[in-house]
Amino acid sequence: MPFKDHDLNQALKNLREMEKEVEELMKDFLISKNQTLMVSEDGWTPHVDVYETTESLVVKIELSGVNKEDVKVQMRECELLISGKRVDNCEEDREDFHIAEIAYGKFSRRIELPKDVDEELVSAQYDQGYLKIMVPKARKDKDGSVVIPISD
């Protein structure tokens, strides 16, 4: 039985999406297992923890040596975008490196969020090299519907 054109197009689209997902998974796996791969064509990739509390989804990013002013946090369509740069402020003349593991330059991370978060109440704090972003969960009734507050 031959494929219909729209079935083939949809199958090719699905295959391309799967290929992108596998590529991202492999990249994340390799980066997490090998520190020397923390530098990419986009810069370096900071480590991230994402976890839930009863009230919020929390994103914690390790950014030692990064100035708060050099970090940008954006929320776009259920995605959290974190970008910035780490600058090497070393003033000594360096002749030879024996070990060079600290990555400098630009970084960016994109974290997909569940749809049941309150994007209007997102907050962030930076302390001792960690950026912590709190994304409150949307308040739901017992039937699972989202409660929308009504203001005056």
Tell me how far apart the alpha carbons of residues 62 and 64 are, in angstroms, rounded to a whole number.
6
Beta bridge partners of 123: 134
pLDDT at 36: 45
Q: How confident is the model at residue 99 (pLDDT cuts 50, 70, 90)?
A: confident
Which run of H or of E encompasses 20?
A: helix 5-33
Phi, psi dihedral angles at 52 (to 5 degrees)? -110, 145
What integer is the mean pLDDT of 21-43? Answer: 62
Q: What is the pTM of this model?
A: 0.64
**8 A C-beta contact, residue 138 and residue 117:** yes
Report how far residue 68's alpha carbon sits from residue 130's, in angstroms, rounded to the nearest whole number: 10
Q: Is the pLDDT of residue 108 over 60?
A: yes
Mean pLDDT of 11-19: 86
Of all residues in the chain, what percent carry a pLDDT higher than 90? Answer: 38
Q: What is the pLDDT of residue 43?
A: 80
Name the one residue in this structure whose structure tokens are 């003033």.
91
135 in helix, strand or coil? strand
* pLDDT exceeds 80 at position 100: yes
Half-sphere CA count of 75, side-chain side, radius 13 A: 17
Residue 33 has pLDDT above 80, yes or no: no
**Segment 45-64, tens digit of pLDDT:** 999 999 999 999 999 999 99
